[in-house]
Structure 1
Amino acid sequence: MKKNTRKSPKRVLIVLGLLLLLVALFSLTLGRYPISLNELVGIISSQVIFIKPFWDEKMEIIFWNVRLPRIILAILVGSCLSVAGACFQGIFQNPMASPDILGASTGAAFGAALAILNHASKAMISVSAFFFSILCVGIVYLVSQKSMGNKILALVLSGIMVSSLFNAGTSFLKLAADPMDELPAITYWMMGSLSGASVKDIRFVFPLMCIGIFPIILLRWKITVITMGEEEARAMGVNTGLVRLIIIISATLITAASVSVSGMIGWVGLVIPHLSRRLIGSNYKYLIPATILFGAIFLLIVDNVSRNVLTSEIPIGILTAFIGAPFFLYLLSGRGDKL
Structure 2
Amino acid sequence: MEKSHEARTSELLRKELILVIIAIAVFLLSFPLGRYSISPGDLIMILAAKVIPIHHTWPTTMDIVVYNVRLPRILAAMLVGAALSTSGAAYQGMFKNPLVSPDILGASAGAGFGAALGIYFSFSYLGIQLMSFACGLIAVFMAYTIGQKVRHDPMLVLVLTGVLVGTLFSSGTSLIKFVADPYDKLPAITFWLLGSLAAITPHDVLYGFIPILLGGIPLYILRWRLNVLSLGEEEAMAMGLETRTLRLIVVVCSTLMTSAAVSISGLVGWVGLIIPHLARMIVGPNYKVLLPASMLIGSAYLLLVDDLARCASSVEIPLGILTSLIGAPFFFYFLVSGRKSWS
TM-score (ref. length: structure 2): 0.95
What residue is the counterpart of 1:224 in the other structure?
227
CA distance in 2, matches of 1:336, 1:86: 15
Seen in structure 2, the aligned counterparts of structure 1 residues 211 and 336 have a Cα distance that, compared at 3 Å, is closer
Q: CA deviation at 1:335?
A: 4.5
Percent sequence identity over aligned pairs = 47
1:171-320 matched pairs, under 5 angstroms:
171-320=174-323
Structure 1 spans left out of the alignment, 5+ residues: none
Query: Which letter maps to 1:181?
Result: D
1:122-161 matched pairs, under 5 angstroms:
122-161=125-164
* Higher mean displacement: 226-235 or 136-145: 226-235
Task: Pick from 33, 37, 50 the counterpart of residue 34 of structure 1.
Answer: 37
Structure 2 spans left out of the alignment, 5+ residues: none
1:116 to 2:119 alignment:
yes
Q: CA deviation at 1:336?
A: 4.6
CA distance in 1, matches of 2:156, 2:171: 23
Q: CA deviation at 1:151?
A: 1.1
CA distance in 2, matches of 1:73, 1:87: 21
- Preserved contact between residue 195 and residue 266 of structure 2 (Cα < 8 Å): yes
- Preserved contact between residue 212 and residue 254 of structure 1 (Cα < 8 Å): yes
Task: Pick from 78, 82, 85 the counterpart of residue 82 of structure 1.
Answer: 85
1:126-176 CA-to-partner distances (Å, cap 9, x unmatched) read 000000000000000111111021111111000111111111100000011
- Preserved contact between residue 39 and residue 54 of structure 1 (Cα < 8 Å): no
Give the number of aligned pairs.
Answer: 336
- Preserved contact between residue 277 and residue 334 of structure 2 (Cα < 8 Å): no
What residue is the counterpart of 1:325 in the other structure?
328
What residue is the counterpart of 1:67 in the other structure?
70
SS state at 1:8 partner: helix
- Preserved contact between residue 224 and residue 284 of structure 1 (Cα < 8 Å): yes
- Preserved contact between residue 74 and residue 303 of structure 2 (Cα < 8 Å): yes
1:21 to 2:24 alignment:
yes
SS state at 2:31 partner: helix
CA distance in 2, matches of 1:129, 1:118: 13
- Preserved contact between residue 305 and residue 322 of structure 2 (Cα < 8 Å): yes
CA distance in 2, matches of 1:118, 1:62: 32
How large is the Cα RMSD of the aligned pairs? 1.5
CA distance in 2, matches of 1:49, 1:91: 47
1:225-282 CA-to-partner distances (Å, cap 9, x unmatched) read 1111222211221111111110110011000000000000000000000000000000
What residue is the counterpart of 1:98 in the other structure?
101
CA distance in 2, matches of 1:210, 1:164: 29
1:95-145 CA-to-partner distances (Å, cap 9, x unmatched) read 100000000000001000000001111111100000000000000011111
CA distance in 2, matches of 1:329, 1:21: 29
What residue is the counterpart of 1:51 in the other structure?
54
CA distance in 2, matches of 1:145, 1:237: 22
Query: Which letter maps to 1:322?
Result: L
- Preserved contact between residue 81 and residue 268 of structure 1 (Cα < 8 Å): yes
Task: Pick from 160, 165, 169 the counterpart of residue 162 of structure 1.
Answer: 165
* Higher mean displacement: 216-225 or 45-54: 45-54
CA distance in 2, matches of 1:283, 1:120: 44
CA distance in 2, matches of 1:277, 1:163: 28
TM-score (ref. length: structure 1): 0.96
CA distance in 2, matches of 1:199, 1:120: 19
